[in-house]
A and B are shown apart, each in its own frame.
Chain A
Amino acid sequence: MMYVFYTLFLFFILSGCSSSQSSDMVVKRVDPYASYDTDITFGSEDLHQTVCAMVASMLQNEIFDGSIIIDIRKVSNKTDEHIDTQAITDSIKNAIIKSKRAKFIDSSLRKELQEELDFQNKSLYSDKRGAKKIGKQIGADYFLVGKISAIKQRNSHIADYYYIITLELVNVETGITDWIDEKKLKKLKSIK
């Protein structure tokens, strides 16, 4: 009786192992810039399209002459989804820096930069000959701010998701918005 039990137990364990290994799920590497829609929610494809549209719009504007300094501030996510807004702004920052049409500062690093400068210039443990000078940090000309909103509608047949991503550059000196653009994305999903 025990042998039967052990045999059955082993059979289930082995069949479990074998099914997990010969699963239908296949992993493959793909082009990160190619288009693959896997879901109706905001995904990597939407992120790429937003970044491309925003960067193209920015670079066409004459204020992007290579001298302006931008500080990326808050991009609010007004949707009910988790959207990594920093991934959007990081990609935009990456593209704009490579284009050499603007420079960026990161105000969230100010405290750490101050501590490092204090260490280099004031600490007993640091060599003052190689210390970076205090008082050379530059302030931003523009704040990059924005928001992501979504309108979602659904009936028994179809789900309709509409995203609006708005970004703007606010002049720190005047408070005037010198550049603004929006990217609209509409996605439909049929419900079976």
Chain B
Amino acid sequence: MQMRVLGIYLLFVLFMTIGCAQKSATYEKLSKVYVNLLPTSYRLHFTKFRKSHINGLMMVQVVVENLSNHRYDDIEYCFKWYDRRFNEVGEYLTIWQPLYINARDTKEIKALAPLPSVKRYKFLVRKRGK
């Protein structure tokens, strides 16, 4: 009897672990709104990922701060948009935009989701031409 209970308990723990692992993996992957693909030598700080709504569409504002003493003009960024089910939507308006920022300067980047179904976003930044 004890063995049967122990077996059921172990099976229960196993299923719970598998379930949690799948959920947390999906969550971890898509909840990461900021993906920095820049070389480590780039001293940029991205802060204030603010989300609001305009005309029923999600608006995202990101503040970027150049911590270095020289201007960057070889950086580009893009926003990717996801619906409630984590499907990527609005790919036709997902475009890498250039980012120019002077030394010790701060800049605000804004982007409007192309569809009302957008619930999540991801912000990517990289060196131009990569």
Contacts and interface: CB of A to CB of B under 8 A. Distances in A.
Interface string A41-64: 000000011011001100111101
A52 B97 contact: yes
A35 B57 contact: no
Nearest to A53: B97
B55 A56 contact: no
Given A35-B98, A99-B116, A59 B55 contact: yes
Contact of A33 (B55, B96, B116): B96
A98 B55 contact: no
B91 A33 contact: yes
Interface stretch (B11-19, B26-34, B38-46, B107-115): B107-115
A95 interface: yes
A59 B53 CA distance: 11
Contacts of A34: 96
A100 interface: yes
Contact of A61 (B55, B92, B96, B115): B55
Contacts of A76: none
B114 to A, nearest CB: 6
Given A35-B128, A98-B90, A59 B112 contact: yes
A51 B93 contact: yes
A94 interface: yes
B13 to A, nearest CB: 44
Given A60-B112, A99-B115, A94 B92 contact: yes
Q: Closest 4 interchain pairs by CB?
A: A56-B112, A35-B96, A48-B95, A33-B95
28 contacts: A33-B92, A33-B94, A33-B96, A34-B96, A35-B76, A35-B98, A35-B128, A35-B129, A49-B95, A49-B97, A52-B95, A52-B97, A55-B93, A56-B112, A59-B112, A59-B114, A60-B55, A60-B57, A60-B59, A60-B112, A65-B55, A94-B92, A95-B90, A95-B93, A95-B114, A98-B90, A99-B114, A99-B115
Given A35-B96, A52-B93, A98-B92, 18 more contacts: A33-B91, A33-B96, A35-B76, A35-B129, A49-B95, A51-B93, A52-B97, A56-B111, A59-B55, A59-B112, A60-B55, A60-B57, A95-B93, A95-B114, A98-B114, A98-B115, A99-B116, A101-B55
Interface of A: 33-35, 48-49, 51-52, 55-56, 59-62, 64-65, 91, 94-95, 98-101
